[in-house]
Amino acid sequence: MANALIVIDVQNDFCPGGALAVPEGDQIVPRINALMQDFDTVVLTQDWHPAGHSSFASSHDGKSPYEMIDMPYGPQVLWPDHCVQGSAGSDLHADLDVTRANVIIRKGTNPAIDSYSAFFENDQKTPTGLEGYLKTLGVTEITMVGLATDFCVQFSALDAARLGFQVTVREGLCRAIDLDGSLKAAKNAMDAAGISRI
């Protein structure tokens, strides 16, 4: 059974000093690099928003970061501008071993739809292509690490489980934003989906 490691959004804007910093986000990098050696297939994901993305609070008059709005595809958290295409903040962390990556999946590129998951945009319909890539390689088991546990890692893990992959989330190699109890909710959702958390 082929096993893939998916490294979610280890980018400058999600690390300390970044526009949407996840506490201790940079501290997981050395151990992720070490873990890469155990996998034949390594996938990196990269949040890659066009400027003025609809998920940015700055795109909505009178709205502040972390407010909720309703989008055509459902509820959406409004974020600080982050991971704008080609910016230093969108770059993968300098210490991340990108030489081990077989492929980099860029997500959030549609200006009208956010994309937490490595598999689908937030409309839950538009695919990134990752499912087909993994299935072509015969991958059946996925291990996930990265940022942030309660958003992009969780949504990626839930979609992977829904698509029939056996999923493990290495919590020690993830960090969370924990917005209004989002970490506890994410753990409950992953448990309910049969995802292993170690």
**Catalytic machinery residues:** 9, 107, 152
CA distance 147 to 152: 7
Token readout for 81 is: 């501008």
Q: How far apart are CA 10 and CA 25, in angstroms?
A: 8
Distance between CA atoms of 115 and 87, rounded to whole angstroms?
18
172-177-109 Cα angle (round to 5): 105
Burial tier of 64 (Cβ tally within 10 Å: 0-12, 13-18, 19+): exposed
